[in-house]
Structure 1
């Protein structure tokens, strides 16, 4: 494992420890939303769809597929569940009627905010406890965990959200 560590002197044990910390943090970060999703009979894929559609009302199915990196068949099942529960609706595009534009209903937006609240609280608390440099450093680490070929599209996504105040 040491051969993949190029510029920093980090031991193999430190790397393994960081991997384990990430597993534990992810377990706890997802635990509250998982409990809420279970009440609906949903899983994490439903959460991701609700989140991204809520952050970008009117996004196309193709855009959502690109962001999530899942198959059309998998997304179809998740969308069907969300539409049946009246959390998401779709309509044809204004200029291209073949496009399916996705939106959250009022209940879908309420669910999005309910799912996000405990995660936001957890991040706010962690950043506060970690100190002044935590946010920019955490952001850098997360960004560099993203595959290099996906970083540009993620940066563009985040920049467009910031510019729109979303």
Structure 2
């Protein structure tokens, strides 16, 4: 008689130790990391403003996408899925950059904030986030796809998501 309550307690305790996060947790963690990546766009835009560089950096984008395709299988992701997801991240980041550069051009000046070195500071952070995002995308993709669009829309609404975050999640629920 006493073993049943103890066994039930152990089963309930272990139920919380699953390898797959809940949909809310996986989605929230992934969106948090996407937002961290988007936050780096201002530093990139400042570098490009200061150096007269265009937002479009085709060679860098191709390099990032090639790295993602190569790393995807190690995270349990199809290379095409990882590439599509990161193509959205790149486009969202460029949306932020274009918006900022347009605003600064209209004002005739960029903010007088401390600049970060693109090569030495920003890109290493982007590279670190790339690994985290691949891990989180894989965890997210292990969840059932049912109601993904509704859950994503609710979470974006809760965050009062800017256009860049909406753009960054454009293909998130397309797990094919």
Into which bin does the TM-score normalised by the smaller protein fall?
Answer: 0.3 to 0.5
Q: Which has the larger radius of gyration?
A: 2
Structure 1 or 2: more strand by fraction: 1
**Higher relative contact order by CA 8 Å / sep ≥ 6: 1 or 2?**
2
The alignment's TM-score, normalised by the length of structure 1, stands at 0.33
